Structure 1
């Protein structure tokens, strides 16, 4: 289940909650994971506001945004990597109502090692996550068949 962390100077975004929700939904769509509760409830974005002065490049500028995206290993092939970086960059600039922010938005893609994805007190491997998703899909299909 992907985690997204956005770091920006306080006041960069007017609606942080909507940005977080949109980033999470966009990542689910790009990854092409099933639209099931397991993924919907555990794909999340966190918007971290930094006080003025807590962010700087070498020149002293602090009007940058850093987006860290953590996925399970192999979740993003090369085309999906391009899609995440492009769409997240655009979404950040739009949410800040500042088209020039696209040039100052860093998107970092990171993969969790197998077993490096903890949820509900268990360090999951990719195979375990896939098995859990398949179980949930089967349960949802069975429940829909009972109606």
Structure 2
């Protein structure tokens, strides 16, 4: 279950777009991880945190109110293969661009992929690593 953070100027996305942004990014990341049919566990635990910041809090050397977006996706160890990385960077950029309503936004959208350390992913009091995720997947598969 990935965690997704979106950092953008508060006025970059239309009012009321947070739900659309969160749902689209969640499903895109799960697809990139190879989860074709996400169940309640995936859908209830993959979270998107949307950080709408004061426009002056986003700076570049050329402007005091940059329209840059940062999407950081943190995944469990080994969950994104190289093709999945390419897929999610492309899809996340497309999602941000579409929802922003600005076709030039793609050139200012950064997607950062971060993989948690082995055992460095905790949920429900358990430090998950590859072994624990494999057991969880086997349990989900057996449950149908």
Structure 2 match to 1:37: 40
- Is it true that 1:5 corresponds to 2:8 in the alignment? no
How many residues are matched? 140
- The 2-side partners of 1:77 and 1:138 are apart by 24
Structure 1 match to 2:135: 131
**Residue-by-residue CA offset, 1:97-141 (whole Å, 9 max, x unaligned):** 0010000000000000111101112211121012012112212x3
CA contact (8 A) 1:36 1:137 kept: no
Structure 2 match to 1:21: 23
Q: Which has the larger radius of gyration?
A: 1
DSSP 3-state at the match of 1:41 = helix
- Is it true that 1:70 corresponds to 2:74 in the alignment? yes
CA contact (8 A) 2:9 2:52 kept: yes
Superposed displacement of residue 96, structure 1: 0.3
Structure 2 match to 1:144: none
Structure 2 match to 1:97: 101
RMSD between aligned alpha carbons?
1.3
DSSP 3-state at the match of 1:53 = helix
DSSP 3-state at the match of 1:107 = strand
Structure 1 alignment gaps of length 5 or more: 142-147
Normalised TM-score (structure 1) = 0.89
Structure 1 match to 2:116: 112
Structure 2 match to 1:51: 54
CA contact (8 A) 2:96 2:105 kept: yes
CA contact (8 A) 1:21 1:44 kept: no
